[in-house]
Amino acid sequence: RLVQWKLAIARGSFVAIAQYCFYLSLIHMEFATASTIAFSGALFVTLLSIPILGHRVGIWRWLAVGTGFVGIVLVMRPDTDSFNVYALLPACAALGYAASSVTAQLFAKSVPTALINLYALAGALTGAVMLVVFTGGYVEVETYQDWLWLLAMGVAGGSAVFCLVTAYRLTAPSNLAPFEYFSIPFAFLLGWMFFDEAPFHRLVPGVFLIIGGGLLIVWRERKAKTGDPRYD
């Protein structure tokens, strides 16, 4: 039994909203573009760590966050005719995933990660069912291949969430989050393999600023371990 069950259910709700926003964005955007914006979660993790965990963010991490958000704006390209409101959905997904990751540190260290994940998945399932009911988005699965893909998504996603929750409980979120940027090249590869997409013209140079913001946080954290206040 989990004493902090309300927190666990709240985390599940964050995940449900994030997944809904991300999957909806894929209908209207290229996979690599949506994924690149969604990987801005490290920026939101750094910001949410301040009010939720009481972490202090120095000038270097603020610079990293600002650099990353400039990259997000460049990827969205709000000044072009191709921009639409759906470009904001991956950013909302990133915020939801970031909230889920940061709140993982609020659980007692004695609570098993598997139990936290179970309650979070229950909350996500409840949220997903409510979204289906209120949005009328139910579509019948017609082939067994679709069921297999859904099963594969569940196994891969569940395993990934379990690993992320474990990692975020072992270290400060701002230390770990930048490594999620390394998933961006995989998003390029998967988008090309499955959807024949190569939106390089849309992502450059914004993607480099997003990655640069994450790497700047990594560099700052390594320097900060030396005790030099200039790298706070």
Q: Is the pLDDT of residue 98 over 80?
A: yes
Give pLDDT, residue 228: 56
Q: What pLDDT digit, counting tens, does each position of 10-28 carry? A: 888 888 888 888 888 888 8
pLDDT digits (tens, 9 = 90+) for 149-171: 888 988 887 788 778 778 877 77
Please give the mean pLDDT across all residues of the chain. Answer: 77
Work out the average pLDDT over 102-113.
80
Top-confidence residue, 52 or 221: 52
| 8 A C-beta contact, residue 32 and residue 210 | no
pLDDT at 222: 64
Query: What's the confidence (pLDDT) of residue 12?
Result: 80
Amino acid type, 38: A
Banded pLDDT at 138 (limits 50, 70, 90): low
Structure confidence at residue 226 (pLDDT): 62
111 pLDDT higher than 80:
no
pLDDT at residue 105 in the model: 80
- Does 64 or 94 have the greater pLDDT score? 94
Q: How far apart are CA 210 and CA 41, in angstroms?
A: 10
Q: What is the pLDDT of residues 26-50, one digit of tens each?
A: 888 888 888 888 877 777 887 888 8
Where in the sequence is the domain holding 109, given as residue range(s)?
5-231
Q: Into how many domains does the chain fold?
A: 1
Task: Decide if pLDDT at 122 tops 60.
Answer: yes
**How much is the pLDDT for 26?**
86
Name which of 44, 56, 46 is nearest 14 in CA terms.
Answer: 44
Q: Is 185 left (phi over 0), alpha (psi -120 to 50) or beta?
A: alpha
Q: What is the 3-state secondary structure (H, E, C) of 22-62?
A: HHHHHHHCCHHHHHHHHCCHHHHHHHHHHHHHCCCCCHHHH
* pLDDT interval class at 196 (50, 70, 90): confident
